[in-house]
Amino acid sequence: MVEGLLKKIEDGKFEFVDIKFTDIRGAWRHITLPADKFTEKTLTDGIGIDGSSVGFLSVKAGDMIVKPDPSFHFIDPFWQMPVMSVVGDIYEVNPTEPHARDPRFTASKAIKRLHKILPGAEAVMGPEFEFYLFDEVRYEQGPNHGSYFVDSDEAEWSSAKEGKVNLGHHVRHKDGYHAAPPLDKTYEIRAQICRLLKEAGLDVKYHHHEVGGAAQQEIETSFGPLLEMADKSQLAKYLIKNAAVKLGKSATFMPKPLSMEPGSGLHVHQYLARDGNSIFYDDKKPFNLADMGRYYLGGLLRHAPALLAFTSPSTNSFRRLVPGYEAPVRICYSVGNRTAAVRIPGYIKDPAVMRVEFRPSDGTANIYFAFAAMLMAGLDGIENKIDPGEPFNRDVSSVAAADSLKCPLLPASLSRALEALEADVGFLRRDDVFSSQLIDTWLQLKYDEVEQVRSRPHPWEFRLYYDT
């Protein structure tokens, strides 16, 4: 593998090798080497970085190293010169050992725990990428002012816009699902993005316009092993955002950038497999879901409030998780119903991919932590045979009070999700998958975000309270 990567770099006449690694919040960082400086020694010894500057907060020192992983690399399409990109892992120094807060290391430990409980099993993940493509984005916040402005030529609000040729084709409010041209003005952009994804090794299943009238998009890729799909998810977001900029647009995975329009989620299909076949399938059980799948689902539901601290880890996440927009608000599962926290897709025909779908997650998640946390919840369900009960197949966003105990509410804010994590952290701590240092640092970072938002006035509060 090492020799193969080095040969690719040499044969392809690459000028630079770009090492990309994920910080604790989930964003890619990078460091670039001339190709002739990227050697086998680079792969074994790594490159020094200041870990404290990217949120890793080592208890020993700021000095850390990033070690490239030759198993995941791609040709970066956005550089003018030939550049090979390689994903890396974060290590402590003296002694050299994996850093407890490194996202890829955490995901690897979750996989190791899976193999301990179910030897030979593989965790398979399949995320759906939802995002908006805007034509203009402005925002600012000061002590005496605060504003944001986003614009989309495709949106209904642009129907009377002057200053440019306006042909009248605009997507109506919340009416963009599978919209066709000329309403869908972004199909060529999606197609170009999908071409880039394919060239980088991501298998695209389909793409389409989503519900949001202001150019909301969805691209879905094929399923794959947990760590591979986490890497590919990072790559997909990188390609989508940079391709959008190159094409004069701004792509955002922010869960709720618009009032009164649907938010963007990152729904995650998932199952456990052996020999390429889902072990969640049993045609003798209701919904064809084997006991193993039911228990896994039960674990997701049992730990859903705590999971949201990793799968929906922004204050903005909870502006999406509200009734009326097909977003989940209650802890229950259904068959085909998209308003439940966990869904068994009703269209599954292939037993090999029998799965469940966790719907609260969104693009602000650190994808490695999110995948690992969901797997740990599912494994806890399997170990403790947690029964998820019966499915709830009505619209749970308007569930009657008499049924509310069957479907308790998900946390309604990031602070509530963080409190749930503090109260229910044991399933994540098993085998030190989520280290105590990681949990403590995550809570500190996220409570700080809560305070940043909580301590600033919101524009709508002026309408509600200015004249009191």
* pLDDT value, residue 177: 82
For the chain, how many residues are written? 468
Instruction: Judge contact between 290 and 282, C-beta under 8 A.
Output: yes
**Which of 18, 76, 122, 128 is the catalytic position?**
128
* Residue 50 appears among annotated catalytic residues: yes
**Which of 29, 173, 319, 338 is the catalytic position?**
338
* Residue 154 appears among annotated catalytic residues: no
**Which of 210, 282, 362, 380 is the catalytic position?**
210
Distance CA 112, CA 117 (A): 9
Strand-pairing partners, residue 73, are 86
* Residue 449 appears among annotated catalytic residues: no
**Which of 23, 92, 102, 130 is the catalytic position?**
130
* Residue 454 appears among annotated catalytic residues: no
| Pairing assessment for the beta strands 28-34 and 16-22 based on DSSP bridges | antiparallel
**Rounded to whole angstroms, what are the CA distances from 190 to 135, 168, 216, 238, 253?**
15, 22, 11, 14, 15
To the question of domain 2-99 being in CATH 3.10.20.70, the answer is yes
> Which one, of 74, 141, 67, lies nearest residue 104 by Cα?
67
* pLDDT value, residue 402: 45
Q: CB atoms < 10 A from the CB of 247, how many?
A: 14
**Which of 25, 104, 302, 359 is the catalytic position?**
359
* Residue 3 appears among annotated catalytic residues: no
Residue range(s) of every CATH 3.10.20.70 domain in the chain:
2-99
| Percentages (nearest 5) of helix, strand, coil residues in the chain | 35, 25, 40
Strand-pairing partners, residue 208, are 218
**Nearest 10 degrees: CA dihedral of 305, 330, 386, 286?**
-150
Residue range(s) of every CATH 3.30.590.10 domain in the chain:
122-465
Distance CA 19, CA 386 (A): 42
* Residue 338 appears among annotated catalytic residues: yes
* pLDDT value, residue 158: 81
* Residue 261 appears among annotated catalytic residues: no
- CATH code for 122-465? 3.30.590.10
pLDDT in tens, the chain (468 residues): 777 899 999 888 899 999 999 999 999 999 999 999 999 999 999 999 888 777 776 555 578 999 999 999 999 999 999 999 999 999 998 888 999 999 999 999 999 999 999 999 999 999 999 999 999 999 999 999 999 999 998 888 888 787 677 777 888 877 678 888 888 889 999 999 999 999 999 999 999 998 888 899 999 999 999 999 999 999 999 999 999 999 999 999 999 999 989 999 999 999 999 999 999 999 999 999 999 999 999 999 999 999 999 999 999 999 999 887 778 988 999 986 767 899 998 778 889 999 999 999 999 999 999 999 999 999 999 999 999 998 887 666 565 644 655 788 999 999 999 999 999 999 999 999 999 999 999 999 999 999 999 999 999 888 998 889
> Which one, of 371, 437, 431, 442, lies nearest residue 109 by Cα?
431
- Residue 434: alpha-carbon gap to chain centroid: 18
**Nearest 10 degrees: CA dihedral of 152, 155, 157, 163?**
50
Q: Is 231 exposed, middle or buried (0-12, 13-18, 19+ CB in 10 A)?
A: buried
Kindly give the residue spans of alpha helices, DSSP state H, lying in 303-431. Answer: 304-311, 317-320, 367-383, 414-423, 426-429
pTM over 0.75: yes
Sign, Cα dihedral of 284, 285, 286, 290: negative
DSSP 86: E
